[in-house]
Amino acid sequence: MSQKLKQFSKNQIFWPLMVLLAILLANGVISGGQFFEMRIVDGHLYGRLIDILRNGSKLMVLAIGITMALATGGTDISVGSVMAISGAVACSIVDGRLLSGVSGSVTVAIVLALLAGLACGLWNGVLIAKAKIQPIVATMILMVAGRGIAQLITEGKIVTINSDAYYFINGGYILGLPFPLFIVAFAFVVVMLFTRKTASGLFIEAIGVNSVSSRFTGIKVDRIKLMIYAFSGLMAAVAGLIESAGIKGADCNNAGLLIELDAILSVAIGGTSLFGGRFSIPASVVGALIIQSISTSVLAIGVAPEVTLVVKSLIVIVICLVQSKKFKEMLAGKFSRRAVKEA
Amino acid sequence: MDTQEKLLEMEHITKIFPGVRALHDVHFSLGRGEIHALLGENGAGKSTLIKVLTGVFERDEGEIFLEGRAISPQSPQAAQNMGISTVYQEVNLCPNLSVAENVYIGREPGSAGRIDWKTINRKAAELLGRFDLHIDVTQNLDRYSVAVQQMVAIARAVDISAKVLILDEPTSSLTAVEVRKLFEIMRMLKAQGMGIIFVTHFLDQVYEVSDTITVLRGGEYIGSSPAADLPKMQLVAKMIGKEYEDLEGRPAAAAAAGHGAKDLFLRLEGAASARISDVNIDIQKGEVLGFSGLLGSGRSEIARLIFGVDPIVEGDIEIGGRHAAVREPIAAMRAGIGFCPENRKSEGIVGDLSVRENIMLALQAKQGMMKAMSRRQSEKLADTYIKALSIKTPSRDQSTNNLSGGNQQKVILARWLATNPDLLILDEPTRGIDIGTKAEIQKLVIKLAQDGMSLVFISSEVDEMVRCCGRMVILREKKLVGELAGDEISEDMIVKSMAGGAQFEPKTETV
């Protein structure tokens, strides 16, 4: 048993999970247990934990999508803008200002929004894999242009919609649990199957460690990169749907603003190196939950909104230090030396 | 022994790593104006001894005297201040700074935060001039060849006032002409009274330039003697702890391999890539075909063309009599070709991945992404090759970074053997590898050919080419200039054809 525990402590997900539990526990103590309370109203589960899960769903979806891009040593900073595009497409169709022929069909809206995200991702992929542009520069193009494209789709307006079917994406419940959680679970399972049951996980890590060697062993590096960025775009579109369903409309200027940084941070907190190589999707999901629970708990404790970001960044610094191998060694050295002195 | 004469003495040096005794009671002494070769197989403790001397590692026992004074440098910086400088195999300067900046980085002349560029450039040019290196010092370092970069590194080290200069594998990436130049510089420094420690795998070079030889084996001190008193055979025997005879000469097996093999496997007809043009070569089944030539003669370029790394732009590749469109490595692999590239670290191994993953990678890529090997299959595959090639690794899940160069090379060989290729291209498969592993790889090459595999063998070491190849094409300045087969193959003939008489600098003829 202790053997297994020891093994687990070396797993990439171990520290992120510990940090998450610590944050939740601290919240529980500060709130006097109120934090963990759950109520069932109309067969729906309510509570702080559920809030964190629901509000964190966008970030979890993005983290799932972006992890593989980071694992190849690349990055995708366009996801926030792609969210805006996806929301703009979906809301404009539901609203009827776009494709009025389908008379606001939610299904058509969702499908086309996802396709738009996929197209954005493919665009990034072509720039990176074929034109060999550095990923941060290549995705910056869409990061900047994306909001403009979204504005064009909505004709520069904030589109508000009135559709219970569409609201369901964010606010719906199945079996007492918020619907976005099922989206996250679905994306998670699909990606886990893809990376574990095919050789793609191995190939992605190999590319991240040494893309030249990978090409020399017959891995289709370009094709895999294209696929990865396309997938990241698709996941951004999904997050865009959740976001726009939450605010019941498309706000091109603010949808997913700066969320790409939180997404990258989620992956980093999860312990995947931004230089590429070994990656863990579950750890990235935990990373996203850590960020969400920090945001939620900072608000819950009643910190003034002006200093929320400061508190958040302090916590992130601590997490990154805990993740840092060098820091851990330093700490271990200090402790053992002290122990020697005392003895 | 008169200690006044001795520049550097290391006595009873012992270094213990957790679980391993890397050095045990090792002696080493270096006189003024002496070139002292430090030899041993990989893992013999050469690097550890050097690192103890330069303060990278702290020694557990023993003493070091520099000019009779006991020293214990705590860092390479400290060692350098005491007069002990090291130039490594991989030049560790800044390629994107100018030559002059590299020479004076960290000790720029000038005052009050201002840097005196004129002085830097003038002094750098003067310094390099003394090394007979007349280059534009304001150009970026990476504009120049590795050889020049190395000279710059040496010049820098000497200029920081080195009493002891350590050259760690300085010749691995140099051509014959450049090696000669390096030796001239070493002799010049020797004449100035500097003590030089020379670490290398090339035994011929040892005899050309060294006064004294010290051999280490498995962390133990085996002995020191003047180079003139130690014949090569004895030296090798000391290094590997066994007789050299099974390596010497051209084994009948190599000559036999390829003889009588008349089935064509691959034909290049007027083939051209972006880097080389008009290549016409036939590769027979079951032969070891050598590509001989100096560095940059086009031997690697042809290998890269065949394997689709540099896609073919003109001409034709036929495999088994049929036109083959080999435009990327995976296509070449499907046509039955494997390729161990020249640069093991940057093009071969995938460092952070485990031995198991490195071995399975090519086969997995060939099978396709969707048909993943199970964990158990890949473990079995890895275990099979770890055993077959006797790869020294604590486990199959060890990160490949932690293996020695020779074992990393074996991992890459295993990766390709796992794909069961018809043609295996080996570009410098034994570079920087100890003699024992070298011999193993050479034997393996001959055995694979005997079992019917075609092999292309590329090496800068002529004796190795003689030992392995049944047939050989000679390349010079990106053109095929000749072919040798069977009994025509000898060191003499190869060197003559490679150098190509009057067309080439006369010096290389004697190499």
Per-residue confidence band for B508, with pLDDT thresholds at 50, 70 and 90: very low
Beta-ladder partners of B474: B292, B482
Q: Is A261 inside any structural domain?
A: yes
- Say if A321 is an interface residue toward chain B (CB within 8 Å): no
pLDDT in tens, B387-415: 999 898 889 999 998 888 889 999 999 99
CB pairs under 8 A between A and B: 78
DSSP state of B372: P
- The ipTM of this complex is 0.86
Chain B residues contacting A, CB < 8 Å? 307, 309, 328-330, 333, 339, 341, 346-353, 357, 360-362, 364-373, 415
Per-residue confidence band for A335, with pLDDT thresholds at 50, 70 and 90: low
* Contact call for A219 and B361, based on CB within 8 A: yes
* Contact call for A215 and B371, based on CB within 8 A: no
Candidates B346, B369, B408, partner chain A, best to mutate (most A CBs within 10 A): B369
Per-residue confidence band for B259, with pLDDT thresholds at 50, 70 and 90: low
Tell me, rounded to whole angstroms, the distance of Cα B442 from its chain centroid: 15
Lowest-pLDDT range of A43-52, A189-198, B87-96, B472-481: B87-96
Residue A327 has pLDDT above 90, yes or no: no
The full length of chain A comes to 343
Q: Is A113 inside any structural domain?
A: yes
* Contact call for B373 and A199, based on CB within 8 A: yes
Consecutive H or E run containing B26: strand B20-31
Chain A residues whose beta carbon lies within 8 Å of the beta carbon of residue B365: 199, 203, 217-220
- With beta carbons less than 8 A apart as the criterion, state whether A260 and A79 touch: yes
A81 CB neighbour count, 10 Å cutoff: 30
pLDDT in tens, B468-502: 898 999 887 788 888 888 888 877 777 777 665 43
> Where do the H-state alpha helices sit in B336-434?
355-367, 375-388, 405-417
Domain tally, chain A: 1
Q: Is A149 inside any structural domain?
A: yes
Residue B460 has pLDDT above 80, yes or no: no
Pairing between β-strand B195-199 and β-strand A249-250 as defined by DSSP bridges: unpaired
- Say if A206 is an interface residue toward chain B (CB within 8 Å): yes
- Which among A198, A213, A224 is the nearest to B348, CB-wise? A213
Rounded Cα distance between B303 and B424, Å, is 10
pLDDT in tens, A190-243: 999 999 999 999 999 999 999 999 999 999 999 999 999 999 999 999 999 999
Chain B residues whose beta carbon lies within 8 Å of the beta carbon of residue A194: none
The distance of A25 to chain B (nearest Cα, Å) reads 36
Candidates B326, B353, B375, partner chain A, best to mutate (most A CBs within 10 A): B353
How is residue A262 written in tokens? 């939180």
- Which among B333, B349, B357 is the nearest to A218, CB-wise? B333
Beta-ladder partners of B9: B29, B65
Q: Is A199 inside any structural domain?
A: yes
Residue B249 has pLDDT above 60, yes or no: no
Q: Is A197 inside any structural domain?
A: yes
Residue A109, domain extent: 58-285
**What is the gyration radius of the CA atoms in chain B, in angstroms?**
24
B352 CB neighbour count, 10 Å cutoff: 19
Rounded Cα distance between B501 and B510, Å, is 11
Q: Where are the beta strands (DSSP E) in B88-230?
A: 110-111, 114-115, 164-168, 195-199, 212-217, 220-226
Give the phi and the psi of residue A265 in degrees, each rounded to 5.
-65, -40
Q: Is A1 inside any structural domain?
A: no
Contacts of B106 (CB under 8 A, 6+ apart): none
**pLDDT attached to residue B394:** 87
* Contact call for A210 and B341, based on CB within 8 A: no
Cβ within 8 Å of B, A 277-296: 277-278
The more confident residue out of A293 and B493 is A293
The more confident residue out of A105 and B501 is A105
Per-residue confidence band for B509, with pLDDT thresholds at 50, 70 and 90: very low
Chain B residues whose beta carbon lies within 8 Å of the beta carbon of residue A199: 364-365, 367-373
**Most confidently modeled range among A23-37, A119-133, A257-271, B272-286:** A119-133
- pLDDT above 90 covers a percentage of chain B that reads 36
Give the phi and the psi of residue B352 in degrees, each rounded to 5.
-75, -15
All structural domains of chain B, each given as residue ranges with its CATH number in brackets, are: 6-240 (3.40.50.300), 252-336+421-510 (3.40.50.300), 351-420 (no CATH)
Rounded Cα distance between B469 and A2, Å, is 56
Beta-ladder partners of B455: B288, B424
**pLDDT attached to residue B261:** 53
Rounded Cα distance between B316 and B495, Å, is 30
* Contact call for B350 and A214, based on CB within 8 A: yes
Q: Is A305 inside any structural domain?
A: no
Q: Is A246 inside any structural domain?
A: yes
- Which among A203, A212, A219 is the nearest to B347, CB-wise? A212
